[in-house]
Chain A
Amino acid sequence: MIPSRMQHLTEDQFASYMVGDAADAAAATHLSTCDQCRAEVERFGVSVQSLNRVSLAWSQSRPSNSLRIRTSSRGAWRLHPGMTVASWGFATGVLLMSAIPLARHLQHPSADTAPVVVSAQESQKQIEQDNQLLMAVDRELSTQVASPEQEYGLGNELARKPKNRELKAQ
């Protein structure tokens, strides 16, 4: 229902107009002719616009930290699919470079690194040499070495002197 100039907009019509409901376009017709309703709409608009400006000025003045660092550790591989292929290729190359020489080495071991195989005869000879050396050492250690008492003839003199305790007792 279109209100007459004197009836003004109802609360519902006002709200519908402000919300932007196209179905209530009749309200626009009334506003074009009614100064009082138009002033009401403008007053509402100015108040809301004030909050709009003030709040945006506040939010835009708020400092923000760069989020690039927080995102760089995640999703980097997803960002560049080519990097994923390249990294897999590099890893395969390194694996091949180390695997091929290893396989060759196992097939044909070099003289330097080949394990030493000692024959039974040589082994027996070595054992005999070791035994002779051990016996020589043993002989050297077991020979009698003169004690300092014997070497300087101190043993007899000490035996002849009476002990201090015995003298005091007498």
Chain B
Amino acid sequence: MIPLSCRVSIISELDDIDALVGLYRGRVLRYVMLSVGDQDLAETITQDCFLKAYNGRASFRGDCAVSTWLFTIANNLIRDHLRTKKFQFWRKAKATAIDATEMASFLPNGETSPETRILASERAEQVKVAMEKLSVNQRRMFILRFLEEMDLAEIAQATGMPVNTVKTHLHRAVTSIRKELGGTR
């Protein structure tokens, strides 16, 4: 249980929507983008996620991290979109899908050499392509585990699935991605 003083600071943190967006938008947007595979749709879902979180901040009990709570909301929104025909259209069109090479252009120039950037871009693209072959659930679990570095219990909370189900999805995701990346065994 989170101490009262921490809860007060978390609740006041939620009161400032711009600060909330500044802190977590990058991670939520990345998660949604890699889950649905469309940039425009990801931007829309992310914005809805923060509006929903802000409007429902009174219901946040503080029994998990704010990021976990935001991912839970994002998951619900993604699930709702998966059911709509609009999403089916977006998935077929893939008009605004972004590849890893384009993503790599946003890496800070000062921190990376051109060679490192190219190498990172190639590796990232390999994983991204491999991820696209996963099921939606496997992909979501994979992002939360390896990009967001959440533990199994947190993923179970964010996705509303039992820990064993999370493990099964992750297990299959890792095996599939390793196969795509060309594992040595």
Which of A's residues lie within 8 Å of B, judged by CB?
8, 11-12, 14-16, 18-21, 36, 40, 43-44, 46-48, 50-62, 64-68, 70-71, 74-75, 78-79
Contact = CB atoms under 8 A, between A and B. Distances in A.
A57 B55 contact: no
Is chain B's binding surface mostly helix, strand, loop or mixed? helix
Interface in B125-158: 126-128, 131, 145-147, 151-152
Contacts of A59: 25-27, 29-30, 33
Interface in B142-185: 145-147, 151-152, 167, 170-171, 174-175, 177-178, 181, 183-185
A43 B58 CA distance: 44
Interface of B: 15, 17-18, 21, 25-27, 29-30, 33-34, 43, 47, 50-51, 54-55, 58, 98, 100, 102-104, 106-108, 119-121, 123-124, 126-128, 131, 145-147, 151-152, 167, 170-171, 174-175, 177-178, 181, 183-185
Given A15-B175, A54-B120, A68-B17, A48 B147 contact: yes
Nearest to B100: A54
Contacts of B121: 50, 54
A113 to B, nearest CB: 53
B107 A57 contact: yes
Contacts of A67: 17-18, 21, 47, 50-51, 54
B178 A57 contact: no
Nearest to B171: A15
Is chain A's binding surface mostly helix, strand, loop or mixed? helix
Contacts of A65: 47
Given A15-B175, A59-B33, A40 B55 contact: no
